[in-house]
Amino acid sequence: MASGLNRKNVTETVERLRNYFASDATRDFAWRRQQLDALERLLTEGATDIEDALRADLHKHPTESEITEIGFVLAELRLAKRKLRRWMRGSRERVPLALAPASARTVPQPLGTVLIVGPWNYPLQLLIAPLVGALAAGNTVVIKPSELAPATSAVVAALVEKYLDPAAVAVMEGGPEVSGWLLDQPWDHIFFTGGGRVAKIVAEKAARHLTPVTLELGGKSPVFVDGTGNMKSVARRIAWAKFINAGQTCVAPDYVLVTPDAQERLQVELAGAIRELYGDDPSLSDDYGRIISTDHYLRLTSMLRLGTVVSGGRKEVGTRYLEPTILADVLPTSTVMTEEIFGPVLPVVTVPDAESAIAFINQLDKPLALYVMSTRRSVRRAFLERTSSGALDFNVGAAHLSVPGLPFGGVGASGMGAYHGKRSFDVFSHQRAVLSKPLSPDTLRLIYPPYTPRKSKFVTALLRRLS
């Protein structure tokens, strides 16, 4: 659905999708598989248009778009296609002996009509990957792309209209006003990816209808480096995770905590890794992205004054170019250390040891991801046992997203709920409990009143022996 929306359009579209869901057409395995097949064609046949749109919005190289957007979603999609029939079967559960004979199982049911609100930084992946789960689970869906990535939003709208069932899936483009109209509707689930400020609005509006929400947020994802292991490899992995998509990644390393003996080595190797990835002048690299908007660019460049630039720092407002930048000598109280950066600026802070790093991290909101670059088993165990984060990666950055069996989601201020793999199906399903017991023999008579002394003694003994 293109521009020109009004509140009446939104309400009518949601009602139309609700009526289609009520027809039970989406519950059938064949319909779900058909939609997943169509979505796969959308991604493969529309790949060139998608790559061009991502280039226009974020200056993404086609290969980066394949790795982090199109190919990523295709992997999720193909897993769902292989496993769909099994996921739809649910599972059998053990029945207590006191209730026998009986059978128990869970049956996944679609929730109904759901809303997926996507962000601008990965405007295809973070919109379509949840859609895979919603369609696999048999829901009707409205997807709301970000208006800050207009080229991708337009391409997604055109492709969805061309390939997917228009009675079940609608795209609504527009700005905050359209988002407001959508959030005023009664949904069966809202899946939101974005920042904490807007997430609070989403949660507040959803609460008015008792609508469940999944909130995929961000936060300041830290890296701890203790100098053990190959520092060149450590720096290369940090640089790739940080500066892909020009740092505009929710799980990008947001700051580095490094021990004093390793700080200088790390800074030298980080500068070398940036040159290795993007050349001596990243502005000339086809592989390096741009900042999404002028406002975001100005916010990021203002942070360069909050420390000592040890590498990078060159910028150009007309093209929204900001060079990959390493900052030292930052104050823990400055905004570069208290707010999520979401761009190519990486502060490096010295801490005495792993204990101090853990204390530093634990005084802040729980991050979406935490990275520990150490070969010491005791250090890794300490971070595993004494910190909390959406994910924890040892000696690698931002790689856990690529493992379908791992949940992707935050904790506390970094979000609620998780998806990827089967969890994407589960997010958009209700696990219905089903119990079946024959009328004969009527063993339940053993627990019916009247409770004679003999019956009470028997029931008490039976239940305690089975517990």
pLDDT digits 0-9 by tens, 395-431: 999 999 999 899 999 999 999 999 999 999 999 999 9
Please write the tens of the pLDDT for every residue from 322-371: 999 999 999 999 999 999 999 999 999 999 999 999 999 999 999 999 99
How high is the pLDDT of residue 360? 97
Q: For the chain, what are the domain ranges? A: 7-217+418-430, 221-404
Q: How many CA atoms lie within 13 A of 394 on its CB side?
A: 13
Mean pLDDT to the nearest integer, 51-76: 97
Long-range contacts of 172-180 (CB under 8 A, 24+ apart): 172/1, 172/5, 172/10, 172/13, 172/142, 172/143, 172/144, 173/1, 173/2, 173/3, 173/5, 173/144, 173/145, 173/147, 174/3, 174/5, 174/144, 174/147, 175/147, 178/5, 178/10, 178/144, 179/117, 179/144
Mean pLDDT to the nearest integer, 79-99: 94
- What mean pLDDT, rounded, does the chain reach? 96
Confidence of residue 3 (pLDDT cuts 50, 70, 90): low
List Cα–Cα distances, 421 to 119, 372, 388, 426, in angstroms. Answer: 20, 25, 22, 9
Question: Smallest Cα–Cα separation from 313: which of 282, 348, 268?
Answer: 282
Please write the tens of the pLDDT for every residue from 170-193: 999 999 999 999 999 999 999 999
Written as one letter, the residue type at 285 is S
Q: How many CA atoms lie within 13 A of 200 on its CB side?
A: 4
Confidence of residue 205 (pLDDT cuts 50, 70, 90): very high
Quick check: 242 pLDDT over 50? Answer: yes
Mean pLDDT to the nearest integer, 285-298: 97
- The CA distance from 427 to 418, in Å, is 8
How high is the pLDDT of residue 221? 98
Quick check: 144 pLDDT over 50? Answer: yes
Quick check: 2 pLDDT over 50? Answer: no
Confidence of residue 100 (pLDDT cuts 50, 70, 90): confident
Give the angle 429-434-440 at the CA atoms, nearest 5°.
170
Q: Which of 274-288, 386-400, 432-446 has the weakest average pLDDT?
A: 432-446
Please write the tens of the pLDDT for every residue from 102-130: 999 999 999 999 999 999 999 999 999 99
Q: Residue 93 catalytic?
A: no
Please write the tens of the pLDDT for every residue from 433-459: 999 999 999 888 888 899 899 888 888
Q: Which two tokens stand for residue 289?
A: 């992205």
- The CA distance from 122 to 245, in Å, is 9
How high is the pLDDT of residue 444? 85
Q: Which CATH number fits domain 221-404: 3.40.309.10, 3.20.20.70, 1.10.357.140, 3.30.565.60?
A: 3.40.309.10
How high is the pLDDT of residue 161? 97
Quick check: 54 pLDDT over 70? Answer: yes
Query: Of residues 76, 173, 216, 269, which has the active-site annotation?
Result: 216
Quick check: 86 pLDDT over 60? Answer: yes
How high is the pLDDT of residue 99? 86
Quick check: 463 pLDDT over 80? Answer: no
How high is the pLDDT of residue 1? 41
Please write the tens of the pLDDT for every residue from 217-233: 999 999 999 999 999 99
Q: Cα 425 vs. chain centroid, distance in angstroms? A: 14
Report the percentage of the chain scoring pLDDT > 90.
Answer: 92
Quick check: 465 pLDDT over 80? Answer: no
Q: How many CA atoms lie within 13 A of 462 on its CB side?
A: 14
Query: Of residues 40, 64, 69, 250, which has the active-site annotation?
Result: 250
Q: Residue 216 catalytic?
A: yes
What would the CATH number be for the domain defined by 7-217+418-430?
Answer: 3.40.605.10
pTM of the model: 0.95
